[in-house]
A and B are shown apart, each in its own frame.
Chain A
């Protein structure tokens, strides 16, 4: 029998039991909806994180101490944070890296320990500031004022830090830094950076208040050097900013340099120097978030299974209720496949209806979630297609057994039934 007539009859039987059909569809809506919610939310978070990193440091190569198990790269960034904060990159390393072809600038970076920061009589607890060089700031990074100058008693704050005090900081204000050892130093605010700047460790999570100080004179962490037992200044992180067109070659050259670096010598045997480009980090983050999304979405698929059971259940009930009708249809010439087609169409319609309704419901909830989490909204188109396909598949799959039962109904028995 032709598909249009099948559809017409199937729709009619579905509508004969409006509430029952609606509840069955609701089961699928919940299933498909949760898949869409988690998939879309996951994709949105992923896109937000990746674009943030990509924007701030598209052509950067990060060097940090890393565990040997990580192979010096790979592994999630930030793993072994204790290792990664070990100061090992000496001034010689910074200079040597800067001499590699295609390197635009090398930004060493370390942590300046503080106990608090005061401005106009108001003190906030700030445990650390980042000690780095003026090169850490690209032209787009400073939204107000300018970068600090090396050797000057100047500070750049981010927007979160700017509003951390009772009176908002503005350029040319003076803040008093209380260092971890109790020393007090004054610094002039010369610039405001957007977001949270600087290196591998500070890029994740919501941007808290952050201060950036010139490493000279503020950053004084030193280690015993490689040669004559003299203590030299060392940084836990170095960011190599490459010419965008040469990031790959520069990364190769950096990796080649690493074994002969002071950092490699200074690190204990179980540690090595990790070299990661932005692309690699983005890839890893994408992979982690992707796995997480797939995992959570997989759980949502469970509710889809429940929806499928609902369809199977209601179709079985329908077959039982309509046994006599099946007998009539067979008596007037319906083939087994016609009967099967009718019931499969019915269950497929329930599944498809659930998918089509579940998508907007899921998108609305996902949109709300992205607003709540303050990330941009990114459509997970592949998951939406997946949801429709799964909805139909769930309908057909759940209807298979009931439809097969319907097709096998013996017309004589069926017609004898009241």
Chain B
């Protein structure tokens, strides 16, 4: 498949959508737990990357840092050109709203809002006008195949439909990166396949996608897999011929899957 389309093609070799350099993060949980220990990673625009690792490997922490939900103890994190490691809460909230699209394992839609309102929610916080929000949300829902479900609330939708609403919401503000955290964890295999196809489509449409999972079957949909274990990057596994070179702290030979 082609690496990217549209405007993203012209930015090759692009400034990376996400840069993580030499990041460490420790938690105090009875003792000091090092979640990330000097991790560097850069994701080119338009790339589709999976982060794999067992629980406790630090992959969720990495996701939280890239998603602007958390800040590292040391090191730098940039998303869409904005430094997040030394940004205040308001700036990070801004970036979360405009440069980052989250897709959660449990969908995490607001149950009392309609599909349309859920998709428009990031735009609401980004102060878009009401009509613009609705147009944008309707277009996105149509694109994920829910054009006839605009006014349904999450409880009235199936798991797969909910996840598609969540993906539409992630795309609402045209983010620099879509972060998908175990997006197939809560749906059956068939629906999971649909969701993954949707992520493939996102990638093909030029979006940068970072998928976090512990399932190799899921991770294999990406161009490359970044293996994380014990707070360090163990290796990068290139799956597609067109997979971009990732600069990481990893200097070992690429490893096979461990899942």
Contacts and interface: CB of A to CB of B under 8 A. Distances in A.
Contacts of B29: none
Given A332-B169, A333-B93, A335-B93, A5 B112 contact: no
Given A336-B89, A412-B64, A415-B108, A329 B113 contact: no
A329 B96 contact: no
A330 interface: yes
Nearest to A336: B89
A206 to B, nearest CB: 58
B125 A331 contact: no
A411 B125 CA distance: 15
Contacts of B67: 331
B90 interface: yes
B112 A12 contact: yes
A329 B125 contact: yes
A153 interface: no
B113 A12 contact: yes
B98 to A, nearest CB: 7
Given A325-B110, A328-B108, A411-B69, A333 B127 contact: no
Main secondary structure of the interface of A (DSSP, over half): helix
A10 to B, nearest CB: 11
B94 interface: yes
A330 B125 CA distance: 9
A2 B127 contact: yes
Interface in A2-17: 2, 4-5, 9, 12-13, 16
A64 to B, nearest CB: 71
A324 interface: yes
A12 B173 CA distance: 24
Interface in B98-114: 98, 102, 104, 108-110, 112-113
Contact of B70 (A5, A12, A412): A412
A85 B98 CA distance: 86
A305 interface: no
Interface residues of A, number: 24
A4 B130 contact: yes
A338 interface: yes
B231 interface: no
Contacts of A5: 124, 130
B110 A328 contact: yes
Interface in A48-89: none
A187 interface: no
A338 B125 contact: yes
Nearest to B91: A335
B196 interface: no
A412 B94 contact: no
Nearest to B107: A328
B97 interface: yes
A362 B62 CA distance: 59
Contacts of B64: 412
B122 A412 contact: no
A13 B112 contact: yes
A334 B102 CA distance: 13
A373 interface: no
A335 B69 contact: no
A407 to B, nearest CB: 10
A264 B130 CA distance: 82
B126 interface: yes
A338 B93 CA distance: 11
Given A5-B130, A412-B70, A333 B108 contact: no
A120 interface: no
Interface string A310-345: 000000000000001101111111111010000000
A1 interface: yes
A242 to B, nearest CB: 69
26 contacts: A1-B124, A1-B127, A2-B127, A4-B130, A5-B130, A12-B112, A13-B112, A16-B112, A327-B108, A328-B104, A328-B108, A329-B121, A330-B93, A331-B108, A332-B97, A332-B121, A333-B96, A333-B98, A334-B93, A335-B93, A335-B125, A338-B125, A412-B64, A412-B69, A412-B70, A415-B104
Given A331-B69, A333-B97, 15 more contacts: A1-B127, A2-B124, A5-B124, A5-B130, A12-B113, A324-B108, A327-B108, A328-B110, A329-B121, A330-B69, A331-B104, A336-B90, A336-B93, A338-B125, A415-B69
Interface of B: 64, 67, 69-70, 89-90, 93-94, 96-98, 102, 104, 108-110, 112-113, 121-122, 124-127, 130, 169, 173
Interface of A: 1-2, 4-5, 9, 12-13, 16, 324-325, 327-336, 338, 411-412, 415
